[in-house]
Chains A and B, each alone.
Chain A
């Protein structure tokens, strides 16, 4: 009799253990959130996302403006469950938001532009996306194109339409330009047109990027008639090294330094895409990106937007490539950081199209993917997808 009672008790406990219960931990661990605005003509696209210290997310994005062809600045704060908290539409005195969204101290910084003077400004907001301030940089830097963090300084790529130069600079968070160097994009008006179309978003969006690899700085932008990866020490008039593309039809589409001359990169060439999880780039002399080879992925959109991060997933150092696919999904491709070996893939999104803007690893080790989705197939909105580390199969 006691055995029967024990059996029944254990059975009941087991049955109870299998039941579902409301669990906020699950709600925090994985979600898909689309931040919708009822305005028919409103259109938003994210640029970068940062997890804030409260576990929430701050998203920097752009928005359609009716008074100018430049894009406006839009900031959105979500809580740790991905739910909307607040948003800020910065007035049209500042346009052309440029990521990365960089954390310096307790605040978040990005670059933007005065639509009249075209001067680059350092914009600052708090962790809630509030308290926006913009400070003009201390030197004449127009058309900001890309930014990344170097300690507490900002590495900025900009375009000077007077001298026809791609300009790489070091800027403090207060806007002081401590170092700057310009490199010609080449002579003639034809070369400038795709750059201006990039800023007006009436043409192709180029994968402009700026960063630091070892002791050298680099930018991915136009140099000497081609879309090139340029290495510089910021003092020489001639770049230390150049990885040339094919005018504006080929070049590097994303780059992450791994160690020394070893990089994780992606490149495009006349619409084709190649992922290079482990590639040695020559930071001196002139080489060509077309010689780099790489894994061809025909499922990616022509000249696909690619984002690369280094991450630790399931105690393994991996490189995560996020790229737009022809099926309107975001493809995630995982490679071993040390060997470049392919580990797995995953595709995010299905019904409404997704276009990747940013991918980050959260403090908990999960992946957060910030992308543009088109609600009802037409309204551009921010989308935040969080994938638990445990759901990734390597």
Chain B
């Protein structure tokens, strides 16, 4: 499967490279303003971008390894969009008359947390009471392959744009940590404690592949022949981010009552990048046509 995605990337990159022989010779670039304008209707951009993302989970179906017999479970309390992860990758864009098609393969580190709370007590015996909180933190490493369609709102040096698209995501690795803390009233006082976290590799608990819809906006600022890019995207998960087959696949986590819900992961991403034009050769030539 990995080879298949590599093939897709290679095809897209090679299509960009194949576009090069069709460009005009340097002599024709400066032949005249009309020809320049015609030439600059198209442009290939290649660059790097990095930033942060904030992730959250939409619960589709809730699950738990703990099946209460005489109380209603409180359910998991998700702490969404609270902990930043990094995102870094490439951007390959083809520009044509204000519209762009952009392929942005990237590494993304998504983090989200949830907690469960439990209480055991005996009515009338206040010292028979134990409160426990299980804080569960998921850290997921993804390779994203988004394809975006972008429209430049202006053709000025500072060009804001809007964009929509879709992304296919491959899971690289995943880790989960569970920290149990609580208050034990049965040990002679109000004994507050926090146990050492259980940290486990949890790749089998998450979906190997996902897809998402993406929308966003950003701005390109042209400095000389390069672009400085500030990009904001919201990614809406469209398929499950957890493994339905291996929900109880980690004995350590199932042993403390944890089972992954069916969730879809959404993300906000903000990146800063630099893009280089591929369709120009001479030093004095502009990569864009400023109207």
Contacts and interface: CB of A to CB of B under 8 A. Distances in A.
Contact of B252 (A36, A39, A351): A351
Contacts of B129: 40
A76 interface: yes
Contacts, number: 131
A26 B247 contact: yes
A11 B186 CA distance: 60
Contact of A33 (B65, B118, B119, B207): B65
A309 interface: no
Interface residues of B, number: 51
| Majority DSSP secondary structure for residues of A touching B | mixed
Contacts of B255: 32, 349-352, 354, 373
B211 A19 contact: yes
A152 to B, nearest CB: 32
B65 A40 contact: no
B251 A36 contact: no
Interface string B205-218: 00111110000000
A22 B128 contact: no
A18 interface: yes
Contacts of A263: none
A140 B245 CA distance: 52
Contact of A19 (B68, B239, B251, B252): B239
Contacts of B262: 22
Contacts of B245: 23, 26, 29-30
Interface string B45-69: 0000000000000001101011111
Interface residues of A, number: 44
Given A15-B209, A22-B61, A40-B120, A83 B251 contact: no
Contacts of B8: 11
Interface string B155-186: 00000000000001000000000000010001
Interface of B: 1, 4, 8, 60-61, 63, 65-71, 118-122, 125, 128-130, 132, 168, 182, 186, 198, 207-211, 239-245, 247-249, 251-257, 259, 262
Given A20-B209, A351-B251, A376-B132, 10 more contacts: A19-B240, A20-B208, A27-B63, A31-B248, A32-B248, A36-B67, A38-B70, A38-B71, A39-B120, A378-B130
5 contacts: A19-B211, A30-B247, A36-B67, A40-B122, A84-B69
